[in-house]
Structures are given as structure tokens and as C-alpha cells.
Amino acid sequence: MKNKFHPSFILKNLSKRSLKGLKFTGHLLSNFQKDGRVLYYYASQETQKQFDLNSYEIAMFVNELANIENNLIW
């Protein structure tokens, strides 16, 4: 690479995921709902407490459902 810069360190760190986040992703993928072509998941207060995530943190997982077949997410 030019100037001896290689983006592998940055790319590796950008793709890191927390164990807490992976556990929630598993829960999300196992419990989402489908209404026609719309996929959705409601994260209750109980779920937020269970995974120690607030609503803003959970909102970052919206794209986990985005690439499932020919569906829409909400």
C-alpha cells in the first residue's frame, strides 16, 4: 500500500461485534414477526433488560432483517 498504510486494522475493528450484541441478534432472528412481506420485531422493556440494551442500542440492529429474502423491514 502507498505510504505503508494498510486498512486491515481499521476494517478488523469496524467489523467487531460484542457478545451481548450477538446474543441479541440470535434472539432477534429467532423471534421476528412476518406480516405479508414486512418483517418486524418489537423489543419490549423486558427484552431490553434481558439483554442489557436500551432502545437506542437495539435500534442499531434494524438491518439484521434487511437481507432476508424479498421482504421489507419495519
Residue 67: predicted pLDDT: 86
One digit per residue, the tens of pLDDT, for the chain of length 74 reads 567 778 888 888 888 889 999 999 999 999 999 999 999 999 999 999 999 999 999 999 988 998 899 988 86
Residue 18: predicted pLDDT: 92
Q: CA 6, CA 38: separation in Å to the nearest integer?
A: 41
35 φ/ψ angles, rounded to the nearest 5 degrees:
-130, 100
Residue 49: predicted pLDDT: 98
Q: CA 69, CA 66: separation in Å to the nearest integer?
A: 9
**CB-CB neighbours of 66 under 10 Å:** 10
DSSP 14-36: HT---HHHHHHHHHHHHH-EEET
Residue 11: predicted pLDDT: 85
Residue 21: predicted pLDDT: 95
CB 74 within 8 A of CB 65: no
